[in-house]
Amino acid sequence: MGHQNCRRPPHVVVALVAIVLLQPCFVSVASSSSSVAIDGGGTNVKVPAVDGGAGSFVEFVTENVELYSNVSNEHMYGSAGKVWDPQLLVAQGMVVRYVVSPDGKGKFRTINEAVRAVPEGNKRRVILDIRTATYREKVLVPYTKPFITFLGNPKNPPVIMWDDRAATHGKDGKPVGTVGSATVAVESDYFMASGIVFRNHAPMAAPGQEGGQAVALRVFGTKAAFYDCTIEGGQDTLYDHKGLHYFKSCHIQGSVDFIFGFGRSLYEDCAIMSVTKQVAVVTAQQRTKSIAGAIESGFSFLRCRIAGTGAGQIYLGRAWGDSSRVVYSYTTMGKEVVPVGWDGWRIERPEKSGIYYGEYMCSGPGALPHKRIGWSLVLNDAQAKPFTGIHFIFGDSWILPPPSLVG
């Protein structure tokens, strides 16, 4: 700790720790959907009026472009440049690493064993080095165990798989529901995964089949990051449930509403693949006035690729919430994307709602802005700016690169 006159100013200490964290030694080895508020965002971020249609949100964008770029400084210490979340700084300074391998060559044979071993109220970064294998288990990372990392080899990734559907009966004899169908559920904050396959291998549901939702990954905690991951399923593949989330270079495939929820998430350089021969819908975003905090949510797709492996058509999104918000920027759209692009679903007058569906500088045979449904938007530079970087998820304070593989 040193003497009083030897202490550095707080902003210098933070900067030094951040620099240390980003050095190679960072990876060294040490011994049912509820109506809930999003954790994240900013207390000074203005919320757009939602009763005036898309135009009211244009005003919101204009007023908040500069605020978005500086929001992390308002949340943390107020020093210049990148400033880290203080809880994250503490955790990254105390890294512990364990090997998970079903052949007994690691500390744990199953992922569930490893997660159970993490103490309640954990404050350290716990890296689970998951060796290449197929793990047939249903995994819950509880909210009491933050700072857990699932690390696999992206060239030969481990697979976590299960086959529950919403209609599957649980131990109590009742259907598990959409929430309970998830192969992996992440309820803790500061979760990270790199080089992992999350799979729900339940048979593909028939169109309109009740209880056919089969979630591969549900993310309920905030400040979660996924790198080089594959998320596979059919209907409702990725439940982007709540919180701030970052998906980088991931492969996400499904059929109907296969990215859904009211998370505030950035998808960067991801492959979005439809596997249905029928009609696919990429997003069912649930931004709404009726769930506390959900009005701050939205999905932003940056430099992604949308295509289909089947013969079916693809909608970019449909409105699960009355103020659903999705933006595609610099995204390549395959021929499977329908010309109208978007669907209002159960919203009787989408043009009078708070729905905000936009596209910016997209390309490919499916990028047809002049044929889109009339209440969607082709964004200009100023309107697109809040969505085209990690500032959309306030990522300057918490997004770190994944750890490297060792051994």
CA distance linking residue 186 with residue 238, whole number of Å = 12
- Residue 322 binned pLDDT confidence (cut-offs 50, 70, 90): confident
CA distance linking residue 327 with residue 316, whole number of Å = 10
Q: Which CATH number characterizes residue 263's domain?
A: 2.160.20.10
- Identify the residue whose tokens are 């309820």: 187
CA atoms within 13 A on the CB side of 75: 25
258-to-96, 213, 232, 255, 329 alpha-carbon distances in Å: 34, 9, 9, 6, 19
* DSSP-derived secondary structure for 148-214: EEEE--TTS--EEEE---TTSB-TTSSB-HHHHT-SEEE-SSS-EEES-EEEE-PPPPPTT-TT---
Q: What is the mean pLDDT of residues 353-371?
A: 94
Q: How far is CA 105 from the centre of its chain?
A: 32
Radius of gyration, CA atoms only, the chain: 21
CA distance linking residue 328 with residue 333, whole number of Å = 10
Nearest to 227 by CA among 253, 197, 248: 248
Mean pLDDT of the chain: 83
Inside any domain, residue 308? yes
- Tell me whether residue 176 is exposed, middle or buried, using C-beta atoms within 10 angstroms of its C-beta: 0 to 12, 13 to 18, 19 or more: buried
Query: How many distinct helices (H) and strands (E) make up the chain?
Result: 6, 27
Q: How far is CA 153 from the centre of its chain?
A: 20
Q: Evaluate if residue 364 carries a pLDDT over 60.
A: yes
Token pair, residue 143, equals 């909210």
CA distance linking residue 352 with residue 357, whole number of Å = 13
Q: Evaluate if residue 6 carries a pLDDT over 60.
A: no
- Residue 344 binned pLDDT confidence (cut-offs 50, 70, 90): confident
Inside any domain, residue 269? yes
- pLDDT for 371: 96
Cβ atoms < 10 Å from Cβ of 29: 13
Q: How many domains does the chain have?
A: 1
Cβ atoms < 10 Å from Cβ of 75: 18
Of 65-79, 92-106, 220-234, minimum mean pLDDT range: 65-79
Say if CB 324 and CB 317 are below 8 A apart: yes
Is 257 among the catalytic positions?
A: yes
Cβ atoms < 10 Å from Cβ of 49: 13
- Residue 133 binned pLDDT confidence (cut-offs 50, 70, 90): very high
Inside any domain, residue 160? yes
- pLDDT for 277: 86
pLDDT tens by residue, 188-210: 999 999 999 999 999 887 766 77
Buried b (16+ CB within 10 A) or exposed e, 258-284: bbbbbbbbbbbebbbbbbbeebbbbbb
- Identify the residue whose tokens are 């203080």: 86
Inside any domain, residue 175? yes
Inside any domain, residue 321? yes
Domain that holds residue 222: 133-397
Q: How far is CA 160 from the centre of its chain?
A: 18
Q: Evaluate if residue 241 carries a pLDDT over 90.
A: yes
Q: Evaluate if residue 305 carries a pLDDT over 70.
A: yes
Inside any domain, residue 207? yes
CA distance linking residue 92 with residue 21, whole number of Å = 7
- Residue 301 binned pLDDT confidence (cut-offs 50, 70, 90): very high
Active-site residue (options: 129, 164, 257, 322): 257
Using a pLDDT cut of 90, give the percent of the chain over it: 68
Say if CB 317 and CB 326 are below 8 A apart: yes
CA distance linking residue 280 with residue 90, whole number of Å = 43
With the CA atoms of 314, 319, 323 and 329 taken in that order, what torsion angle do they form, in degrees rounded to the nearest 10? Answer: -10
- pLDDT for 1: 38
Say if CB 243 and CB 263 are below 8 A apart: yes
Cβ atoms < 10 Å from Cβ of 19: 9
Hey, is 390 helix, strand or coil?
Answer: helix
Token pair, residue 345, equals 């679903």
Inside any domain, residue 84? no
Q: Evaluate if residue 19 carries a pLDDT over 50.
A: no
Q: Which pTM does this prediction carry?
A: 0.81
pLDDT tens by residue, 54-94: 444 444 344 343 433 344 333 333 334 678 999 999 999 99
Using a pLDDT cut of 70, give the percent of the chain over it: 79
Inside any domain, residue 21? no
- pLDDT for 162: 98
Token pair, residue 293, equals 């905090």
